[in-house]
Amino acid sequence: MSIDTSRYVNPFSVNTFSYCPRRWYIQDVFKFFSHNEHTLIGRHVHERREEINIQKRSEVYLVSHKWHLKGKCDYIETEDKNFIPVEVKKSRDKFGVPIHNDIMQLVCYALMIEDVYNVPVTTGFLIYAGSRKKYEISIKLYHKSQLNRLLRKMDLMKNLPEIPKRLNNKNRCWNCSIHERCLSTREDHQ
Ligand code: SF4
């Protein structure tokens, strides 16, 4: 019997939700998506991934029935039988540290690999092409708890009739690819 995975969540959506629940709602529930300079550069980076010097299996499609997650991991490095997910971002790190929503996306891949390959995953890499930085992330229990909370919130919120409120965060809104759509979206969805 085949399992219906149509409602499984993509790690990219987890990243979006962690960045801004309203943006996630507009993109995933309303199905509206718009590219801006940042997302277009992101596509370019992914299209040129072979130029990035890492040894890997690229674009590995994973489905986790345990976590109800599905999506493509940019790369999986294997080292001494360890599986290490790698996520590549076009952007820069922030003040010398990796960005929380990117870590949440990476943790999704870690949990998916654990479920699919039945191996523990304790490490992942985040690469920021914009600043040419590569961060090793130790994946801890608290990361998994944070992700679990996010997934439960997403599950609750996708069935709510109210769109989440706008963020009070100028930096995020300034860099947001859908800010015009966000401003024109009324809270009653009209
Ligand atoms: S403009 Fe700001 S509040 Fe609106 S979706 Fe983007 S990040 Fe969220």
Residue 157 resides in a domain: yes
Residue 180 resides in a domain: yes
32 lines ligand 1 (CB under 6 A): no
Kindly give the distance from the C-alpha atom of residue 183 to the centroid of ligand 1, in angstroms, as a whole number. Answer: 8
Kindly give the distance from the C-alpha atom of residue 180 to the centroid of ligand 1, in angstroms, as a whole number. Answer: 9
Instruction: Indicate the number of domains in the chain.
Output: 1
Kindly give the distance from the C-alpha atom of residue 155 to the centroid of ligand 1, in angstroms, as a whole number. Answer: 20
Residue 190 resides in a domain: no
Place of tokens 């001494």: 80
Residue 189 resides in a domain: no
Residue 96 resides in a domain: yes
Q: Which domain holds residue 78?
A: 11-184
pLDDT in tens, the chain (190 residues): 688 999 999 999 999 999 999 999 999 988 866 655 455 444 544 544 444 444 567 889 999 999 999 999 999 998 777 899 999 998 888 888 999 999 999 999 999 999 999 999 999 999 999 999 999 999 999 999 999 999 999 999 988 888 999 999 999 999 899 999 999 887 655 4
Residue 4 resides in a domain: no
pTM above 0.75, yes or no: yes
Q: Which CATH number fits the domain that encloses residue 119?
A: 3.90.320.10
CB 96 within 8 A of CB 78: no
Phi, psi of 48 (to 5 degrees): -100, 25
Residue 114 resides in a domain: yes
Residue 120 resides in a domain: yes
CB atoms within 10 A of CB 139: 22
